[in-house]
Structure 1
Amino acid sequence: MSIVVRDVREHELDSVLALNNAAGPAILPLDANRLQYFFERAEYFRVAERDGSLAGFLVGMGDASGHDSSNFRWFQERHSEFFYIDRIVVASRRRGGGVGRAFYADAQSYAELRYPCMACEVLLQGGTDPVMLFHGTFGFSEVGQHVMPETGLRASMLMKPLCSYEWVRDTYGRELPQEPWIHTPRTQQVARSRAAGGRA
């Protein structure tokens, strides 16, 4: 069956929370309040469906979002424009089946119209080689390391340049074509917030 990537729906948040907290030590745990924060503020919050069930999710924020993560602030102190992947989770039974690559392809399609690079981190603890390899083969490279004050965990800070962004910016500026694949209800809400001077 094919993988469908789409915006999360509010009634799915309990299932998303369960996926996150079953992911193991490579993903920081969440509670319902934190997940609601992502639902209300994340610029990109999408789930993957496979065979009619949730196979994973990805949460992303733009550099102007005011996100309160120490890893996000690390990037913000060093880079002016970026799209930050806060977390990507794939259900254990779906790992190795292309869900992660489908997410990153979808997130890049979103980000390269709006940002010059993507940023994320990988926690450096036992068993991270497959995760680092995955990111490396998708074009990310380490730009530093950061010890998270809230957990004491060390993270490899990764970035990937998005070569299409400059052409999109020079051709369209901030007025992207009104195409459904570009403007989902979530991205329209973010655009309205930015136009009103609020945070995404």
Structure 2
Amino acid sequence: MTATVPDTTIREIEPDDFDTIIDLNQNALEGVGPLDEQKLAHLVDQADQALVLDDGGDIAGFVITLPPGADYESSRYEWFEKRFEEYVYLDRIVVAETHRRQGVASQLYDEIETETPVALEVYDTNDVSLAFHRSRGYEPVGELDHAGKTNLMLVKES
């Protein structure tokens, strides 16, 4: 059973959220790529899902998934694009430091793990993330070396 943060709402990302999302993203660069307003607007415009978990007006976390055929330059996205027809690509998920270990990521994953397989990658050295994804049913489907690191390519079937 997923722990939930009380009095929260999962909703679509709005332009008023951009500054907070960029700040959260830039404070999590160990796990996600850099983001500015132009790139965020482009991602949200193309997204299959672009969601925040709103905790009484504070953004506790956000997630962005991309559908097949998106205009997105990423070797990891392209890896899945060449191998899968039906999927959504989890481009990024970030939880605010003040809301970690409170079930925020699980709630966001519950929202995106619907009827379409979810594809993502995790660095092979990120044991915490690998354990989290294994516990949610993600299976390895390949590897990709990128920027000197090995990415394990994972998919959770619906």
Q: What's the secondary structure of 1:27's corresponding residue?
A: coil
Could you tell which deviates more after superposition, 92-101 or 58-67? 58-67
Q: Is the 8 A contact 1:143 1:157 kept in 2?
A: yes
> Could you tell me the TM-score, scaled by structure 2's length?
0.89
CA separation in 1, counterparts of 2:32 and 2:65? 15
List, as ranges, runs of 4+ consecutive aligned residues in structure 1 with deviation greater than 6 Å: none
5+ residue gaps, structure 1: 163-200
Match of 1:64 among 58, 61, 69: 69
Q: Is the 8 A contact 1:56 1:89 kept in 2?
A: yes
Alignment of 1:17-96 (within 5 A): 17-96=22-101
Write the letter of the residue equivalent to 2:152. Answer: S
Cα 1:66–1:17, aligned 2, differ >3 Å: closer, same or farther?
A: same
Match of 2:148 among 148, 152, 155: 152
Q: Is the 8 A contact 1:10 1:39 kept in 2?
A: no
CA-CA distance at 1:144 after TM superposition: 1.0
Q: What's the secondary structure of 1:143's corresponding residue?
A: strand
Q: Is the 8 A contact 1:59 1:85 kept in 2?
A: yes
Q: What's the secondary structure of 2:109's corresponding residue?
A: helix
- 1:5-48 deviation digits (Å, cap 9, x = unpaired): 11010111111000001114122221222112112211211011
> Do residues 131 (structure 1) and 129 (structure 2) align?
yes
CA separation in 2, counterparts of 1:123 and 1:31? 23
CA separation in 2, counterparts of 1:124 and 1:91? 23
Q: Is the 8 A contact 1:121 1:156 kept in 2?
A: yes
Q: How many pairs does the alignment contain? A: 153
Q: Could you say which structure has the larger radius of gyration?
A: 1
- 1:131-152 deviation digits (Å, cap 9, x = unpaired): 111111111011111122xx33
Match of 2:108 in 1: 103
5+ residue gaps, structure 2: 1-5
Write the letter of the residue equivalent to 1:8. Answer: I
> Could you tell me the TM-score, scaled by structure 1's length?
0.72
Q: Is the 8 A contact 2:63 2:93 kept in 1?
A: yes
Richer in helix (by share): 1
